[in-house]
Every structure is written in C-alpha cells, then in structure tokens.
Amino acid sequence: MLFQIPEGATAECPNFFKLGDRWVLFVSPYGKVQYFVGDFDAATCRFQARTRGLLDYGSSFYAPNTMQVSDGRRLVWGWLNGFPGGHGWNGCLSLPRQLSLSREGELRQNPPPQLSKLRGKLVEWRNLHLENGGETLTLPRTNTLEIRAEIDLQTAKSIELGIKSGAKDARPIVVSFKDSELQVKDAKAPLSLAKGERKLNLRIFIDRSVLEVFANETACITKTIAPLDFNATLEIRADGGTANAKLVQAWPMKTIW
C-alpha cells in the first residue's frame, strides 16, 4: 500500500507526482480535495506525508488532474460542478494553476503567466485610502473578468471586496478577509499573513457563473455564482481601521478559443 489517508476516507481520483525534491498526492474523498506533501521510498513503495492541506476551500472544485509541461512546470485543472441541471452538460474545467512548494513544504498555487494573453484593456486604480468605509469602482463592461488587488491592511480589522451586478436586486459577491481567514460566500480558508507583514494579494477571476479566488499564493476558493452582467461595480471597504489599496487592476478576459 502506497499510502492510507489518516481518516480512512475513500481516496477517489488520486494524483501522485514529484514536485521539486518532494512528492505530492492529491485525493478527492467525496468532499474538498486534499493534498499531502512528503517523501517517496521507491524501494518499499511507501509515501510518507509531512504536510497536508486542502487544494481548494470551495465546494465546486473536484477530481483534479495534473500535467508537466515542456519547461518543467506542473499544472493542475479541476472539474467544477454545482451548476443547474437540464442543460445537456455537467460542469466545466477550472483555470489551470501552476504548482510550487514553499521552503516549509507547503503547496503554492498561482495562475500561470500565459493567462495574461487573454487580457483586454486595463482599468487601474492606485493608492486608494480606506478608513471605516470604502470606494466603489466601475468595472469593465463584460461578464468575464480578471481582478488583481494589492492591499496594505495597516490597522484595518477586516477587508471586503464586493462585486455587484448592475441589476437593482442583485446581491454582491463578497470576498472578505478577517481574523486570518478568507471567506467567499459560505466557503472559508485559513490565511496567515507573513510575520511582520499585513499584505493581502488577491487574484480574482470571473467567467460568467464561475468565480476563482487566489490569495497570497496559498489559499484558493472556487464557487459557482449567479452570472455576472455587463454593468458590474467593485466596492472595496475597510472596517475597524485604515487600509491602503496600493493597486487595483481589472481586465476583461477574451475567449481562449
């Protein structure tokens, strides 16, 4: 036996591969996808896990597969479910994610740089001072978006980014950070900031009814959402103190086909 999940859960859709000088195992145990990072002994065919975590803290990301591209990078895609039935199809694939390891052996996930080829015209804001309130920004007129935000939390206790469609009764999609936790709708991911730093770096992708959030290279949350319309706004607010949105960028995303 290569490895047994400590809780004895069913290890569906396993992926086992080398990443740097470590080995990584992905399993889909009828719930959120788990990863294990450790060492593999080929002589005994045993995998010894050293660290573990969740690949994605949302409920829509499942059954990932990885591949190594020609330049040696390891990419992963997941199957996204949770869409209404009756349309003749079942889910879609996530954006590709580029994998790496930290010095401590924790998994890092980032959108690969090639995704920038899908960007349309940039809209940008710099040094937005936030103090117990926020700024409302007009996003590009599209329902496929990339948003990038670099925020210095300063003394703020919490930060919220609310993406709202133009319809009067539309409810905003809220991405929030408070008490070392990232939250999107009902999904929560632990997110510890580097010692001595209060920096939050977000990459947010919206493709009609799919939302993918990357935070500080460590936490990912994927959710299905109500489709975004062409008149969306972004509200960034700080509560309990001050914050500086050093850089906020938004691009419409072109089709990959």
Enumerate residues 6+ apart whose C-beta is below 8 A from 43: none
CA distance 212 to 65: 17
Does the pTM surpass 0.75? The reply is yes
Question: In the prediction, which pLDDT does 227 show?
Answer: 84
Q: Does 39 have pLDDT greater than 90?
A: yes
Torsion sign, CA atoms 49, 52, 58, 59: positive
CA distance 45 to 1: 7
Q: What is the pLDDT of residues 214-247, one digit of tens each?
A: 999 999 999 999 888 888 999 999 999 999 999 9
- Asked if 100 contacts 113 with a C-beta cutoff of 8 angstroms, the reply is no
Q: What is the pLDDT of residues 106-127, one digit of tens each?
A: 899 999 999 999 999 999 999 9
Considering only the C-alpha atoms of the chain, give the largest distance between any 2 of them, rounded to a whole number of Å: 64
